[in-house]
Amino acid sequence: MIDHAQHARNFTANAERTAWHDDALWFVREKRDKATKLIPEWEELREQASQVKMHMLSRLDHYLEEFERNATARGIQVHWAEDADAHNRIVHAILERKGVKNIVKSKSMLTEECHLNPYLAERGMDVIDTDLGERIVQMRNEPPSHLVMPAIHIKKAEIGDLFHEQLGTDAGADDPKYLTEAARQHLRPKYLEADAGITGVNFAIADTGGIVVCTNEGNADLGTSLPPIQIHCMGMEKLLPRLEHLGVFTRLLARSATGQPITTFTSHFHGPKPGGEMHVVIVNNGRSAILAKPEFRRSLSCIRCAACLNTCPIYRRSGGYSYGSVVPGPIGSVLSPAMDLEKYAALPFASTLCGSCTDVCPVKIDLHDQLLAWRKYVVKEGYLDKGKARQMKMAGKLLSSPTLYRTASFLSKGMKLVPRVLLYNKKNKWGMERELPLPAKRRFRDLYRKRPRS
């Protein structure tokens, strides 16, 4: 089981770094706020996006078949993968058949979820992640710590050292412009040598049979326009019914993600290049099981903008790796338990339930309600931490009995007389790293009874 609290403790042990991380994410959250305030109809736009996605999910089988039909008519080869393993086998078979050795891949959380890179590497293929942030974490043998900014947890001096070691940049150089130029020079030959390009999919369009990929660096375009084979891997919930729906989602995505008015590239692929092959792999990997759960199915509307990560007080102060899941943050804490409840039982508790995630979500996923709903499942399945379970049981008894509650509330008047060691110990998790508030001098009950009556 992932111990989020322990991982978070390790992260916050470095107070200076925690504050730096917190500030970096908050900076992005503020940029998002500024961008959304320029759009008077922002809230209506979110509502429309939410309704389009819920409609799509209610007819997902129909739209998947429509997409397949239209894509096939355009010469695109459509594949279906039941799980991560099937996805990897399909992608590998396509590449194997053509003798592919060198692959460039632009950002795709789905291929992270399926662990495609190690699968291909074990079979003698070389996969280069081309998004700068992803390339940085790949060079460090780390997974991304954020959906949109994979290297948000790394300082520029560390990237400078990494590039000095692996790309031969000047020792001690940490100017972002200089380092970005070095990455450009490092990546360009990789595109030119590539035998195949792989990308994720931001949106697939049922009525045209095409897919859309959004980047700022142009790396998905570089990776797909040169080699003869292009493969696009998509979670099956990425569908939109009609091309016109992109008007709604392209207005929401980048503003929610980084505060940009739109990504630099919004690239629409509707068929293979002359003499080339274009493949789309549609992946289930547990999504139909989420669809079957009424209280969680809205999470399939997610467009991976990461606004919920940037605003989350827990994510900002515990870092992406503390979640131990491919997708971190609030959205990861509702998606991951659906994959493996026992392993990810702690994640629904990595939240204050403040609801900020729900407020910023461009497709109106009820994230904090889902986090609460997952807590009930965790308890029901017996995965709740024993100490927490004991406390909850006691609190439950106390709060459900008026007599017990009154007695406790009367006794709590004496709390300031209780020795600290009794309140602040390992058994009382709520007293750890927190000062318990002293009870008010006069209880509400007393005030109410003594209220002036007319």
Shortest Å distance, C-beta 246 to other proteins: 5
At position 332, the amino acid (one-letter code) is: G
Q: Which is nearer to other proteins, 282 or 346 (CB)?
A: 282
Distance CA(220)–CA(191), nearest Å, equals 10
Q: Which is nearer to other proteins, 278 or 357 (CB)?
A: 278
Site stretch for other proteins (CB under 8 A), options 119-127, 244-252, 342-350, 426-434: 244-252
Query: Interface with other proteins includes 330 (CB under 8 A)?
Result: no
Distance CA(388)–CA(404), nearest Å, equals 20
Distance CA(1)–CA(393), nearest Å, equals 22
DSSP state of 227: S
Residue 224's closest CA among 208, 239, 213?
A: 213
313, 356 contact by CB (below 8 A): yes
Query: Interface with other proteins includes 269 (CB under 8 A)?
Result: yes
Query: Interface with other proteins includes 169 (CB under 8 A)?
Result: no
Distance CA(357)–CA(25), nearest Å, equals 13
Distance CA(279)–CA(93), nearest Å, equals 12
Quickly list DSSP for 352-386: ----HHHHH-TT---HHHHHHHHHHHHHHTT-S-H
Binds other proteins (CB under 8 A): choice among 95, 114, 147, 149:
149
Q: Which is nearer to other proteins, 136 or 347 (CB)?
A: 136
Query: Interface with other proteins includes 246 (CB under 8 A)?
Result: yes
259, 220 contact by CB (below 8 A): no
Site stretch for other proteins (CB under 8 A), options 256-264, 323-331, 393-401, 434-442: 256-264
Distance CA(96)–CA(331), nearest Å, equals 35
Q: Which is nearer to other proteins, 56 or 346 (CB)?
A: 56
Binds other proteins (CB under 8 A): choice among 34, 37, 123, 268:
268
Cα separation values, 122 from 92, 115, 196, Å:
11, 11, 17
Contact string (CB under 8 A) for other proteins, positions 353-372, x = contact: --------------------
DSSP state of 349: G
Shortest Å distance, C-beta 282 to other proteins: 7
Query: Interface with other proteins includes 337 (CB under 8 A)?
Result: no
Site stretch for other proteins (CB under 8 A), options 9-17, 260-268, 391-399, 412-420: 260-268
Q: Which is nearer to other proteins, 16 or 433 (CB)?
A: 16
Binds other proteins (CB under 8 A): choice among 118, 261, 387, 396:
261
Q: How many CA atoms lie within 13 A of 292 on its CB side?
A: 6
Q: Vertex 100, ends 96 and 105: CA angle to 5°?
A: 110
Q: Which is nearer to other proteins, 179 or 367 (CB)?
A: 179
Contact string (CB under 8 A) for other proteins, positions 381-420, x = contact: ----------------------------------------
Shortest Å distance, C-beta 400 to other proteins: 34
Binds other proteins (CB under 8 A): choice among 288, 391, 409, 412:
288
Shortest Å distance, C-beta 447 to other proteins: 48
b or e along 416-431 (b: 16 or more beta carbons within 10 Å of the residue's beta carbon)? eeeeeeeeeeeeeeee
Query: Interface with other proteins includes 176 (CB under 8 A)?
Result: yes
Site stretch for other proteins (CB under 8 A), options 121-129, 285-293, 325-333, 414-422: 285-293
Shortest Å distance, C-beta 386 to other proteins: 34
Residue 123: burial class (beta carbons within 10 Å; 0-12, 13-18, 19+): exposed
Question: Hey, which residues between 49 and 108 contact other proteins (CB under 8 A)?
Answer: 51-52, 54-55, 57-61, 64-65, 74, 80-82, 86
In this structure, the dihedral spanned by the alpha carbons of residues 307, 206, 235 and 246, taken in order and rounded to 10 degrees, is -20
Cα separation values, 358 from 27, 34, 138, Å:
19, 18, 31
Q: Which is nearer to other proteins, 192 or 423 (CB)?
A: 192
Shortest Å distance, C-beta 98 to other proteins: 17
Q: Which is nearer to other proteins, 289 or 415 (CB)?
A: 289
Query: Interface with other proteins includes 24 (CB under 8 A)?
Result: yes
Question: Hey, which residues between 111 and 140 contact other proteins (CB under 8 A)?
Answer: 130-133, 136
